Chains A and B, each alone.
Chain A
Amino acid sequence: MSGRRPVALVHSRTLVLPAADVDTDQIIPARFLKGTVREGLGRGLFADWRYEPSGGPRTSFPLNRPEAEGAQILVAGPNFGCGSSREHAVWALVDAGFRAVVSTRLADIFKRNALQNGLVPVEIDAHAHASLAEAEGVEARVDVAALTLSWPGGLAAFALPPFARRCLLEGRDELDILLSYEDAIAAHERGASLEA
């Protein structure tokens, strides 16, 4: 099967996790990386922050509060997703129901991984980010076509490369696009082998 479900709008309550530099080891610790499938990784999401060492839920952690139920927009701090390239971090967020991650700046590989899985990376300016974070749990709306994030009393624009935006809106998959370039790839290989 190829292609993904198109993502045009994400409309939900926000969940705010304001810490800066949250690395992918926090999003999903390495011990959850020993599987061989993409599904079911939500159980490892923020595992060491979400659960006590004894295994019980840490009630103070935002994801464990009743109002987190159904939240699809994660409002994260700056440099969210730094560190390891593990796509498991994005798979875990998506498995837990998230469809958009808002930050002032997302780490490069995390952002690439998010786009491959239809998780909308939303980078907004620090001022807008601060007011959105303050309005914790507000109903917000990510509009991929308009490249805007809005909530009662607030509106912020965000940027996406035109290609990334189109892939989200059309549910296009980069692998399909690359496969369509077969002739150019083969030509490059012939040229490269002539040089060598």
Chain B
Amino acid sequence: MSPAPRTLFQKVWDAHVVRAAAADTPAVLYIDLHLLHEVTSPQAFAVLRERGLRVRRPDRTLATMDHAIPTTPRPRGPFVPSDPEAAAQVAQLEANAHAAGITLYGLGHERQGIVHVIAPELGLTQPGRTIVCGDSHTSTHGALGALAFGIGTSEVAQVLATQCLLQETPRTLAVEVEGRLGPGVTAKDLSLALIARLGADGATGHVIEYRGAAVRSLSVEERMTVCNMSIEAGARAGMVAPDDTTFAYLQGRPHAPQGDAWARAVRSWRALSTDEGAGFDRLVAFDATALEPMITYGTNPAMAVPVCGHVPDDVSGPTERALAYMGLSPGQALLGHPVDVVFIGSCTNSRLSDLRLAASVMRGRKVAPWIRALVVPGSQQVKREAEAEGLDRTFREAGAEWREAGCSMCIAMNGDRLERGQYAVSTSNRNFEGRQGPGGRTFLASPLTAAATAVCGHIADPRELVA
């Protein structure tokens, strides 16, 4: 008898079950890679100290600093943030990592960067792995066929101490995307359109597998953008089956298997794809062909429309509240809306391909004088690669700020933030009230739309500039 067909998710899950679910206990799931940053880890290390526990697998743990650190240009080498609270968090992570023997890519390290940017670029994010981090955008790593999800700090402590988590089995959702993205339309636009379709809680309790021709034709970095935003529809995780695109991305990266081990790894990774006939709990079909550049108008990422479209007319309670916060009216056009800040960065859109897109629009043009534009590379490696291509010069000559790697204005706890009432077009993932600074108002969009907005001085359709 041949084994029952299984989904990508089921295969990764099954391979990591330490103890199967019983009637009154959920499954115990083994975690291959645990990523740490300064903001959600201090209290977890404190739990281990209180109980006299050790970090079980420092070799399966990697720490960096990204959320609370400033991204203002700074001297090379060791560096202390001027914000005393951030400095204390940074110092705690340094002490905790040192005491436990955990590798830390801290401030001034050539591999420092946003946690979800550095793990893939180092080849630590691999197909079939289970990956967790105290950060909801851990879903990013699913782009390579890993099962990756965000956890709270109590769970961070559990993984530090046992390398395992107790997990109720999630449901599965297949998102089938047919067609191909048109010119000027990016993975971010696809993501925003999918979230608008699913709703802000449309995928709660589910692991999404993104499938179909449109997904297959995306680069790994584009797949990361799509998987990154899975949580904005409430999903536990987002995944894409590994394929030749994935293997080409991984080969030669510092932590990728080498030599004979590489060939063996690719063989086992190929077997991870969802089997013919495997069932999902739900299926949503989407056609990417007619997709246009998207932008949000409200205060959650599901409130999105084409950039050349209008704020909806028929507003109910939540939308009404969102429009009041945003200072927008029902039925209003978005093109031409005034903007104060353009933010290009975050774990959603700060990789080299994102910066290339933004630079393609800014090259030979100037950021409007009333706009502050920040370009924040996702990692020191992205920064170096961008500089080697001269992208930094393109941004600087256009009048944009070129920053150090970090989360920056996506989370606004590090000195980069909007002033009350300001409007931003941001390539980040959340337009929640105050997310980019108390009273700040965020339009989420792609790097192309953000760059087009910067040079036009108001919300703009990038297709008019990239044609």
Contact = CB atoms under 8 A, between A and B. Distances in A.
Interface of A: 1-2, 19-21, 23, 25-26, 29-31, 33-38, 48, 53, 78-79, 82-87, 90, 105, 107-109, 112-113, 116-117, 161-163, 166, 174-175, 177-179, 181-182, 184-185, 187-189, 192
Nearest to A177: B166
A1 B83 contact: no
Contacts of A78: 201
A84 B47 contact: no
B152 A178 contact: no
Given A25-B432, A108-B205, A175-B158, 6 more contacts: A25-B434, A30-B435, A34-B85, A83-B430, A87-B40, A188-B30
A86 B232 CA distance: 15
A85 B88 contact: no
B329 interface: no
B260 interface: no
A53 B420 contact: yes
Interface residues of B, number: 66
Contacts of B434: 25-26, 29, 48
Contacts, number: 175
Interface of B: 18-19, 23-26, 28, 30, 39-40, 42-43, 46-47, 50-51, 53, 67-68, 83, 85-86, 88-89, 92, 134-136, 150-155, 157-158, 161-166, 168, 200-201, 204-205, 231-232, 234, 236, 300, 317-318, 321, 411-413, 420, 430, 432-435, 438-439
B433 A48 contact: yes
A34 B430 contact: no
Contact of A109 (B43, B136, B158): B136
A181 B205 CA distance: 26
Query: Which 9 A-B pairs have CB atoms at the shortest separation, nearest pair first?
Result: A116-B154, A34-B85, A87-B152, A36-B42, A113-B152, A79-B201, A85-B150, A30-B413, A85-B136
A79 B434 CA distance: 18
B24 A21 contact: no
Contact of A33 (B39, B46, B317, B318): B39
Nearest to A162: B24
30 contacts: A20-B317, A21-B200, A21-B318, A25-B434, A31-B413, A33-B40, A34-B85, A53-B420, A79-B204, A82-B200, A83-B231, A83-B430, A83-B432, A85-B135, A85-B150, A86-B39, A87-B43, A90-B152, A105-B204, A108-B236, A112-B155, A113-B154, A161-B168, A162-B24, A163-B26, A175-B51, A175-B154, A179-B161, A181-B164, A184-B19
